[in-house]
Structure formats: C-alpha cells, structure tokens
Amino acid sequence: MPAKNLSVQELFSKVQSLITKTPVTFNEAAELLGFTAKKSREFFISHPEYKISRKHTEILFKLLRRRLKGEPFAYLTGKKGFYGLEFKVNENVLIPRPETELLVDWVLKKFPRNSKITIADIGTGSGCIAITLAKYLPQAKILAVDFSSKALTVARQNRRNHGVKNVNFLQSNLLQAFQPTEEIDLVVSNLPYLTRQESTRVLSEPRIALFGGKQGLELIYRLIEEISKRQIPYAILEISPLQQPWLETKMREFGDFDLEFLKDLSQKTRGLIIKKRAK
C-alpha cells in the first residue's frame, strides 16, 4: 500500500495498471471507489486532486482482488438493484437479474393494483420478486418460500428494509408448506434452471440457487407436477431460452393447461406462463 494519501488521479492510475488485460472494467473500479469512500463518481471526475485516505485505498484494493478472482460485483457491495428497488444480497442468495423483472412485469399487467389475490413465490432467494410485488400490489397476500434458511434470513432483512407487511416467508420445498386446500391464485417462481454443462459459467453464486439437474429442469418439472394437483389458475416460471421445446413436450402430460412463453425484447424465451383451463 502507498505510504501517503493518493489523489483520485494517482489512485486511478494505479488501479488502471492493476486491471489492464483483465475482465474487470474501469467503471467497476470507479464504482467500488465510490462505494468505499462514500462519494459519487461525478465527484471524482470533478475533483481529481481529492485525496483518498490510506484506509479507503486499502479497502478498494482488497475489493478489487476479490473481483479479479471472479467474485460478483454485487457481492462486493452487498446490494443489487431490481425493478427500481435496492436489495441486500450476499453469497447465500442468487443475484437478481434483469430478465427476472419480466415476470414482475407480467404479473402487474395481469392483476390491477387493488387485487386481493394470494401469490406463492417459490424459491424466493433475496425476496426481490415477492417484495416488489408486495409494494405494487398492497392488498395481495404473498407467501414466499425457500429451501435455504440462510436465503430466508436475507429475504427477511430485505422485507424490513422495504417496510412491506403483506409478505410472509416460509422454509419449504416447493409447495409442501401449503395445505392441499389452501387457495393460491398465482405461483411465480425463479427456480434453478441451469444445466450441469453451464455450471462453469457461474461459480461464485450458490449452486442450490442456480443448477436444476441434467437439463436444468428437475425442480421446474416437480413444481409443475405439484401445481397440476391443485386448483391454481395461473403460474409464471422463469426458464432458459433453450428449455422451451422440453417444456412443450412435458406439458402435454397435463391436458388442462394452456401455455404461453414470455419473451424478452430480443425475442428470447424467458418465462413459461401456465393457465389452468376452466372446467
């Protein structure tokens, strides 16, 4: 570490030499400095002579070394944005993704703000889906479950941070926490859906939140089977674009469902919408 406080300009010069020819971007380094020194990026641009303390410099380089080892940026700062809200994240939960916001979009278009519905969020992780829906559907009753007690600790912290009262968190495997006769209007879920072959792409996030068996569909198939045994009008599940053909085949086993696939702006399949046919 340098023996004196460095100016922003001097520090950025050292940072640039450290991250050159690595996947870490200068923008990430600048954001980490802002996170560490509690200053905005705009402040650093307009004050290149500003002195950064040795303590903050040391913290910055520790964070950069973790980032260079492949640790996700959100785990370094402990937070991630989702649907315009900020959520606490750590190594016990999946980092919220932009594509998951499509599930929230669909739900909010389908159900008016004053809807008095019961929503089950299966595999809630950080609670980002459940808490976002709770904010936009204040009269809804939302029951969010996860198999991981550590993930639920994070989700409950996020519930406190956002001050929502209409979300309850339960430790459960899929729908097992719900009574067979319990009324559920909608299941929303972002279960693990990566295949074993894709496991090398994401090594730093919890495996239990990412990998769904050989085809990435093990838990999704189980959830669909559990949904089929109940009178649940709607379900929306996040899936991989590669899984649409497998799911179309699987859903033929259940004749009383209509299917729709949710696509993003680039027309990649991101979600499976299941609608129970009226009898």
Q: Is the pLDDT of residue 203 over 60?
A: no
- Radius of gyration, CA atoms only, the chain: 22
Q: Which residues pair with 261 in a beta bridge?
A: 272
Q: Give the C-alpha distances (Å, rounded to integers) separating 107 from 93, 186, 228, 255.
A: 23, 9, 20, 24
Q: Is the pLDDT of residue 273 over 90?
A: yes
Quick one: what percent of the chain has pLDDT higher than 70? Answer: 90
Across 182-192, average pLDDT: 92
Quick one: what percent of the chain has pLDDT higher than 90? Answer: 65
Q: Is the pLDDT of residue 95 over 60?
A: yes
Across 134-145, average pLDDT: 97
Q: 184 falls in which pLDDT band (50, 70, 90)?
A: very high
| Cβ atoms within 10 Å of 2's Cβ, excluding its own | 13
How far apart (Å, rounded) are the C-alpha atoms in residues 190 and 145? 11
Q: Is the pLDDT of residue 197 over 70?
A: no
Closest by CA position to 275, among listed 235, 242, 220:
235
Which carries the bigger pLDDT value, residue 161 or residue 200? 161
Domain spans in the chain, listed from the N-terminal domain onward: 6-70, 84-276
Q: 256 falls in which pLDDT band (50, 70, 90)?
A: confident
For domain 84-276, the CATH class is alpha beta
Record the pTM: 0.86
